[in-house]
Amino acid sequence: MSVIMYKLLIFAFCFNCVYGYFTLRGRCPEKVDLQENFRLADFYGKWYQSYHYSSDGQQMNNCSVSELMTRPSGIYLNQSRVDRGLFHRFSISKLDIPADIEKGSQLRVIFNNKNAPRRLQTRKYPFHVLATNYNYYATVYTCNYSPLIDKHFIYVWILSRNPVLNEVSKTLATKPLQQIGVDPAHLVKDDWSRCTPKYYTEEWVEPTTFRFPVPI
């Protein structure tokens, strides 16, 4: 099956989901100031999602923990979540680290799906660090643009070293959001009191934060 066919097929099946997913007008925000002198080595360790924003309004990434892992083939990001309060799941992506140290916070995540047509096997999404002090908070966002309907999708993670983020850190963490047009009032606070999964998945699952599989 050709890539075009595949895209059309996905598009036909997913007409509603494209419209539901990309809701913000125009392209992704440009000229965004990210964290300066980003130090990846200090980003290791557990990060709890303490607040999040998903521009499509979906709450699909509850009780999420992000953590970098080093493997012989590179550095990977493990992001877990709890679905419906019961199912513990995780997705793993490879981290694409910019060669230019000055642009260290312009990370990307890469998902590989061997079952997809060749040109769609590798999916890349931005995973840009807007701000972090490494010890308390980190603000990360991704943006996905659809040229077809000229709209974009944004997901913001306000990450915290503890499930609860202190107020000072929250203020610092949310400050850069205005650059990408996200109103901090629209952040959703994660409820960590209902994160006790009964079932654990051993294998990789599709992420819910980098949802749209093909660039259309």
Ligand X SMILES: *[C@@H]1O[C@H](CO)[C@@H](O)[C@H](O)[C@H]1NC(C)=O
Could you say whether residue 22 binds ligand X (CB under 6 A)? no
Closer to ligand X by Cβ: residue 19 or 200:
200
Q: How many residues does the chain have?
A: 216
**Subset of 178-197 contacting ligand X (CB under 6 A):** 191
**Shortest separation between residue 92's beta carbon and ligand X, angstroms:** 6
Q: Verify binding: residue 50, ligand X, rule CB under 6 A.
A: no
Q: What is the DSSP string of 48-81?
A: EEEEEEETT-----TT-EEEEEEETTEEEEEEEE
Q: Which is nearer to ligand X, 51 or 90 (CB)?
A: 90
CB 76 within 8 A of CB 68: yes
Query: What does each C-alpha distance from 135 to 9, 162, 191, 200 come to in angstroms?
Result: 45, 10, 21, 29
The answer to whether 109 and 127 have CB atoms below 8 angstroms apart is yes
Q: Minimal distance in Å, beta carbon 176 to ligand X?
A: 25
Q: Does 51 bind ligand X (CB under 6 A)?
A: no
Interface characters, 86-115, with ligand X (x: CB under 6 A): ----x-x-----------------------
> What's the min distance (Å) between Cβ of 84 and ligand X?
4
The amino acid occupying position 214 is: V
The angle formed by the CA atoms of residues 131, 102 and 161, to the nearest 5 degrees, is 30
Q: Which amino acid is at 8?
A: L
**Residue 23 binds to ligand X (criterion: CB under 6 A):** no
Among 17, 28, 40, 60, binds ligand X (CB under 6 A): 60
β-sheet bridge partners, residue 158? 51, 139
Q: Is 59 in the site for ligand X (CB under 6 A)?
A: yes
Does 198 interact with ligand X (rule: CB under 6 A)? no
Count of residues that bind ligand X according to CB under 6 A: 12
Query: Candidates 9-17, 75-83, 121-129, 134-142 — which segment interacts with ligand X by CB under 6 A?
Result: 75-83
Spatial separation of the C-alpha atoms in residues 68 and 135, rounded to whole Å: 15
**Number of other CB atoms surrounding residue 166 within 10 Å:** 13
Q: Of 6, 14, 40, 83, which lies in the binding site for ligand X, with binding defined by CB under 6 A? A: 83
- Residues near ligand X (CB under 6 A): 59-60, 62, 65, 69, 78, 80, 83-84, 90, 92, 191
